């Protein structure tokens, strides 16, 4: 009986279709181009391994599932396209793209991922794009990790999707924003953004909801505008332990209409504008440090209300430490000193806000 069962098992395995077996496809050994190799895949965990070289083509992964496209270990693989996007992933799932260099695309983005889910882009570089470096549209569950984007005309990374993670990436010399992000449950962790033409990180747009984003331990250096900007649609986001240096405008700005955001333990230094510009409702600003702001440490606008400012430290601002124009907020255990103007100046009636146990050297009401 046992012998019969074993024989039936071997027979069933032999009758499985060949397509169910994962294949390893080599470029150029098996196919001369990457696109030809992609077209030959059937799913079930196929791996395309590309050997060293420059491949002059625009590669599209459309309706592809359970596919890995990677450079052979230790090999420099460049996909170069003069005008079109060098690599597009569309209508696909469970795709892994690894260690590829995407260059050119003077009329488009360097890497497009759209209408796809469970996509991992790892260790890739994008340069020279005429639009955005990496563009993620209408996707869920996409991770971009340890990638470099440089010298692109648009934003370094543009996201319009949910559950997208940007981890340990580097964006250099983006013409627009370093990262422009819209969607739900986004994670932006450990990225470096330097010398971008507009803002470092932008969350939300006025007509969309960007809710529940976690922006943590990023370093933004030399943004031409704000280091981090929370637009009207940004709600319930956590901005934690980021470092912002040398911004040409404000370190962090929270726009009117953004609500219920937490900004904690961020370090802002040497901005031309304010350390923080605050227009929001129900925001929590805790344990942040501002040093050498070109204007005020915290400029709290008249349209802000119901915020908490707790244990923030402001030193050596070119103007005031706190300039308070908003109302119905609480200022507790903050420290401001060595500022060129007042450590705290109030442009609202006394009693409009609550001030508890702060350490301000100079106060003007």
Give the CATH number for residue 123.
2.160.20.10
Q: What is the pLDDT of residues 116-142, one digit of tens each?
A: 999 999 999 999 999 999 999 999 999
Q: How many CB atoms lie within 10 A of CB 5?
A: 8
pLDDT higher than 80, residue 100: yes
Residue 260 above 60 pLDDT?
A: yes
Q: In this predicted structure, what is the pLDDT of residue 44?
A: 85
pLDDT, average across residues 213-220: 98
Q: Which pTM does this prediction carry? A: 0.93
- Is residue 341 a contact partner of residue 315, using CB atoms and an 8 Å limit? no
In a domain, 86, yes or no: yes
* 117: its two tokens: 């889910």
Q: Give the whole-number percent of the chain exceeding pLDDT 90.
A: 87
In degrees rounded to 5, what are phi and psi of residue 57?
Answer: -160, 165
pLDDT of 213 reads 97
d(Cα 335, Cα 297) in Å, to the nearest integer? 11
Is the residue at 31 inside a domain? no
pLDDT digit string, tens, across residues 157-191:
999 999 999 999 999 999 999 999 999 999 999 99
Residues 6+ apart with CB under 8 A from 73: none
> Domain total for the chain?
1
Is the residue at 131 inside a domain? yes
pLDDT at 350: 76
pLDDT reading at 4 higher than 70: no
The answer to whether residue 11 scores a pLDDT higher than 90 is no
As a whole number, the mean pLDDT across the chain is 93
Tell me whether the omega of the peptide bond preceding residue 94 falls within 30 degrees of 0, making it cis: no
Please give the average per-residue pLDDT across 71-97, as a whole number: 97
Domain that holds residue 275: 51-364
For 125, 268, 275, the CA distances from 319, given in Å and listed in that order, are 41, 15, 11
CA distance 150 to 194: 10
User: What is the number of other CB atoms lying within 10 angstroms of the CB of residue 359?
Assistant: 12
The pLDDT, as a whole number, for residue 3 is: 42
> Over the stretch 304-343, which tens digit does the pLDDT of each residue have?
999 999 999 999 999 999 999 999 999 999 999 999 999 9
**How many angstroms separate the CA atoms of 184 and 201, rounded?**
16
The phi and psi torsions of 46 (rounded to 5 degrees) equal -60, 145
Position 263 scores a pLDDT of 98
Question: Is 250 domain-assigned?
Answer: yes
Check residue 20 and give its pLDDT: 59
Q: What is the pLDDT of residue 206?
A: 62
- Is the C-alpha dihedral spanning 349, 350, 354, 356 positive or negative? positive
- Structural domain contains residue 33: no
19 has a pLDDT exceeding 50: no
- Of the candidates 145, 134, 257, 243, the residue with the CA atom closest to the CA atom of residue 194: 243
Structural domain includes residue 97: yes
Indicate whether 1 belongs to any domain.
Answer: no
User: What's the rounded mean pLDDT across residues 3-13?
Assistant: 37
Q: Is residue 26 part of a domain?
A: no
């Amino acid at each position: 009986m046992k012998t019969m069962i074993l024989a039936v098992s071997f027979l069933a395995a032999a009758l499985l279709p060949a397509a169910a077996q994962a294949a390893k496809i080599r470029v150029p050994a098996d196919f001369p181009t990457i696109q030809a190799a992609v077209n030959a895949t059937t799913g079930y965990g196929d791996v395309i391994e590309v050997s060293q070289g420059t491949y002059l083509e625009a590669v599209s992964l459309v309706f592809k599932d359970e596919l890995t496209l990677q450079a052979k270990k230790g090999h420099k693989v460049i996909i170069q396209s003069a005008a079109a996007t060098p690599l597009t992933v569309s209508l696909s799932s469970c795709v892994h793209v690894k260690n590829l260099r995407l260059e050119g695309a003077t009329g488009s983005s360097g890497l497009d991922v759209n209408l796809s889910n469970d996509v991992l882009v790892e260790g890739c570089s994008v340069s020279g794009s005429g639009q955005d470096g990496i563009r993620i549209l209408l996707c869920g569950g996409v991770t971009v990790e340890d990638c470099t984007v440089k010298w692109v005309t648009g934003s370094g990374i543009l996201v319009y999707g949910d559950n997208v993670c940007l981890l340990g990436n580097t964006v250099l010399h983006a013409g627009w924003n370093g990262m422009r992000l819209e969607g739900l449950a986004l994670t932006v962790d450990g990225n470096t953004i330097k010398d971008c033409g507009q803002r470092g990180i932008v969350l939300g747009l006025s007509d969309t909801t960007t809710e529940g984003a976690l922006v943590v331990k990023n370093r933004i250096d030399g943004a031409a505008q704000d280091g981090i900007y929370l637009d009207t649609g940004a709600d319930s986001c956590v901005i934690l332990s980021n470092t912002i240096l040398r911004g040409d405008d404000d370190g962090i700005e929270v726009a009117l209409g953004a609500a219920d955001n937490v900004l904690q333990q961020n370090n802002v230094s040497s901005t031309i504008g304010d350390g923080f510009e605050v227009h929001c409702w129900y925001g929590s600003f805790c344990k942040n440090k501002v040093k050498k702001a070109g204007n005020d440490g915290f400029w709290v606008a008249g349209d802000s209300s119901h915020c908490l400012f707790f244990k923030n430290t402001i030193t050596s601002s070119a103007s005031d430490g706190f300039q308070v124009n908003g109302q119905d907020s609480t200022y507790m255990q903050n420290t401001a000193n060595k500022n060129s103007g007042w450590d705290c100046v109030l442009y609202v009636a006394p009693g409009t806000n609550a001030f508890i146990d702060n350490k301000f050297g100079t106060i003007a009401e």
